[in-house]
Structure formats: C-alpha cells, structure tokens
C-alpha cells in the first residue's frame, strides 16, 4: 500500500502553472487529464477536496489582457470572471465521470471565529457525505489584507486541517523539493523524503518559478509545516505530469513526501 492508496480523505491543491498556459488561457489537455485521474481516485473510494488556483490567470485570459494586472480591483475582477469559468470547466469535466462539484470560497476569518469555522466544517462534511467534490478557493472579492490566506498552498493545508484529511497533495510546476532552486542551478537534485521541516529545509526555498505562479517553494514548505503539525503528511508532485498521481498510488518513488503516514493510518 502506498501513502496515497492508504489515504481515505485527500486534499489536492493545483497551481496556476498547472492549469494555464503562459498566455493565461486554460491548458485544456492538462486539466482534462487531471480531472480524469481525480475522478478515478473518487471511484476508488476516496473523499476528495480540490483547492484550485487559476482564477485570476483564467480571468486575465478571458479578458485578453496582455499581462497580469497589479492593482487589487482589477485582480479581483479577473478572479471573479476566472472563478466562474473554472467552475464551469470542472463541473463539465467531472460530470463526464458522474461526479458532482461544489464551489467553496473562503476568507481567513473562518479560522479565527469558531462559529464560522464550524459552519465551514459542517458544509465540507455534508458535501463529502453527499459524495460531492468541494472545489475551494480564496474569496478574492472579500479577501484583502487582514482577511486573506495569501496563497493557496497555505489555504490547502488549512482546509486539510478543517476536514481532517489523511493526505495533502500539492501539484506544482516542479517535480518536488530540490536541494536548491532547479530553475537557477542545473546541478540541483530532487529530495524524495523530508521527515520534518527544519530551518535547513526552509532555507532551500528560492524564488517563485513562473510569472503566473504566486507562492514559490516557501509557501509549499509552510503548507507542509501546517500539515505535519496537524498530523497528516504532504506530497509535492509535478502537475505538468498528472499521471505522477498514478505512480504515487502504485507506490513508485515520485515527488517529495513530507512526514510519514503513520499517525493517522
Ligand atoms: P505553483 O504555481 O505550482 O504553485 P510556484 O511557481 O509558485 O508554483 O512554485 C514552484 C517554484 O518554486 C518552482 O518552479 C521553482 O522555480 C521554485 N523553487 C524555488 N526553490 C526551489 C527548490 N528548492 N526546489 C524546487 N523548486 C524551487
């Protein structure tokens, strides 16, 4: 059994660079393959929660903008447009495999206010009981400064905690954690297992990888810290090759595993 085949409940986070071309428009081939594999995990009996980035990037593409906006209202407008398109695509693709999706948009105050947190947990749990795949994103219309999670890596780890997940799977534009930023150093090598997040591990994160990506490696390591502190492991895979999810399922050595699966399983 692998860390993935073992897990009953899985939060999957997918980054902008996986979902979109450099033009900002949706990478249809990639997203179709990803949905197919996730639908298969669902068919294998997993509870699935998808945290999807990409709303701003898709909105930028929809509006034919030459580059990503820098001012907050335009980013929020792009997110509102792109979120709608993203959900339409997920709904359409998952329904081909007879799976239903639901949209959940969150702001940071849900972790600070008990009543709100409880409402969010109730919604997640009922959706999972109803066999629906919640698709989560930050509520960009409301989320400015003190209300924001900041990045979807952190958001996905917080969602993992809220739904008591068995595993957090982050799909990025890179094969996993390297000993240094592979976009800058040709001799960087992949680290397959990180049992704990030490200061030395945090120091390995360089800058972000692409114009459309937002977090870079540091937010993925922060997510791993939250995951491990809350008793579930995290795996970082390359979203450019969604079939790596099958390799992980089959127990092959792929990506970077943070922590171990021992506590929950
Ligand atoms: P995503 O949009 O998938 O969230 P990001 O671009 O935000 O992806 O983050 C992944 C990027 O982090 C990689 O493409 C890489 O350039 C950068 N990075 C920095 N340091 C490292 C490291 N030590 N190992 C792997 N990637 C790193």
Q: Pairing between strand 190-191 and 177-178?
A: antiparallel
Instruction: Tell me if 216 CB under 6 Å of ligand 1.
Output: yes
Pocket of ligand 1, candidates 153, 209, 210, 222: which has the most ligand atoms within 8 Å of its Cβ, to mutate?
209
Taken in order 154, 110, 59, 92, the sign of the CA dihedral is positive
pLDDT digits (tens, 9 = 90+) for 191-246: 999 999 999 999 998 755 554 545 689 999 999 999 999 999 999 999 999 999 99
Position 263 confidence tier, pLDDT thresholds 50, 70, 90: very low
pLDDT digits (tens, 9 = 90+) for 147-182: 678 889 999 999 999 999 999 999 999 999 999 988
Read off the tokens for 178. Answer: 């390297």
pLDDT digits (tens, 9 = 90+) for 51-101: 999 899 889 989 999 888 999 999 999 999 999 999 999 999 999 999 999
Quick one: pLDDT at residue 261? 63
Q: How far is the CA of 90 from the centre of ligand 1 (A)?
A: 25
What is the atom index within ligand 1 of the atom nearest the CA of 177? 24
Residue 64, sorted as left (phi over 0), alpha (psi -120 to 50) or beta, turns out to be: left
Quick one: pLDDT at residue 265? 40
What is the atom index within ligand 1 of the atom nearest the CA of 205? 20
């Amino acid at each position: 059994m692998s860390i993935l085949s073992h897990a009953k409940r899985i939060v999957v986070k997918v980054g902008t660079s996986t979902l979109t071309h450099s033009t900002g428009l949706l990478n249809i081939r990639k997203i179709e393959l990803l949905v197919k594999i996730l639908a298969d995990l669902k068919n294998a009996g997993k509870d699935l929660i998808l945290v999807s980035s990409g709303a701003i990037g898709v909105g930028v593409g929809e509006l034919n903008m030459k580059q990503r906006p820098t001012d907050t209202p335009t980013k929020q407008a792009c997110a509102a447009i792109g979120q709608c398109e993203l959900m339409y695509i997920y709904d359409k693709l998952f329904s081909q495999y007879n799976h239903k999706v639901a949209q959940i948009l969150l702001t940071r105050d849900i972790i600070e206010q008990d009543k709100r947190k409880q409402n969010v947990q109730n919604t997640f749990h009922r959706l999972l009981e109803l066999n629906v795949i919640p698709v989560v994103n930050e509520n960009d219309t409301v989320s400015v400064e003190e209300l924001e999670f900041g990045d979807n890596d952190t958001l996905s780890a917080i969602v993992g905690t809220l739904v008591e997940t068995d595993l957090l799977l982050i799909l990025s534009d890179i094969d996993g954690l390297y000993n240094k930023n592979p976009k800058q150093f040709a001799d960087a090598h992949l680290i397959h297992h990180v049992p704990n997040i030490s200061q030395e591990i945090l120091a390995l994160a360089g800058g972000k990888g692409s114009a459309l990506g937002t977090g870079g490696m540091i937010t993925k390591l922060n997510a791993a810290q939250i995951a491990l502190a809350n008793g579930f492991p995290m795996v970082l895979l390359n979203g450019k090759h969604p079939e790596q999810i099958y390799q992980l399922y089959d127990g092959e050595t792929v990506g970077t595993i943070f922590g171990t699966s021992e506590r929950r399983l």
